[in-house]
Amino acid sequence: MPERIELTPSQRRRCNRLIKRLCANYDDGNCLLLDDGEPRVCPQTISYSLLCRYFRNAVLPADKELYADIFKQRTYRCAECGAVFTPNSNRQKYCTVCGKRIHRKQKTESERRRRSGTLGTEKSLKNQGLQPPIWGNAYQIPRSLKIGG
């Protein structure tokens, strides 16, 4: 049995709003799963701990920020808008809304460079004093840049 998870008052209020909005077993303050002929109060709405397995597995994951807050998961701030989000990978630096927009912008810029004929590699190589590779050979370093030669 998992350890008992205590909720703060603000987490409890957010959970209750989520239950009233999304829980399929919630009916005017009563729990349909516990109904045995007479109505039973939903225990999750009156408790400061995480009791209901249905709520934990089906309803709570809908609010990723609250889920991360309760289960002490790592959260990041979006590099673009500053919103708090739970990352899907360790490299994610934008929230899902900004991530789509930034990806589209980067893809558009990449296509623009590709269609113009330069991807920027020749320019950066010339600035470093290197020449683009000849088929199959590595980058050729000018003699002036070679050490000990």
Tens of pLDDT, residues 67-116 = 888 887 778 889 999 988 888 888 899 999 999 999 999 999 999 988 88
The sign of the dihedral angle between the CA atoms of 40, 43, 44, 48 is positive
Q: Whole-angstrom Cα distance, residue 61 to residue 126?
A: 51
What are the phi and psi torsion angles at 94 (to 5°)?
-120, 150
141 in helix, strand or coil? Answer: coil
Q: Which two tokens stand for residue 113?
A: 């460079």
- 82, 59 Cβ separation under 8 angstroms: no
19 in helix, strand or coil? Answer: helix
What predicted TM-score, i.e. pTM, was given to this entire model? 0.53
Q: How far apart are the first and last CA of the chain?
A: 69
Residue 77, strand partner residues: 84
- Which residues, in sequence order, are CB contacts of 97 under 8 Å at separation 6+? 81, 83
Q: Which two tokens stand for residue 24?
A: 């399929």
**pLDDT tens digits, 20-68:** 999 999 999 999 999 888 889 999 999 999 888 999 999 998 988 888 8
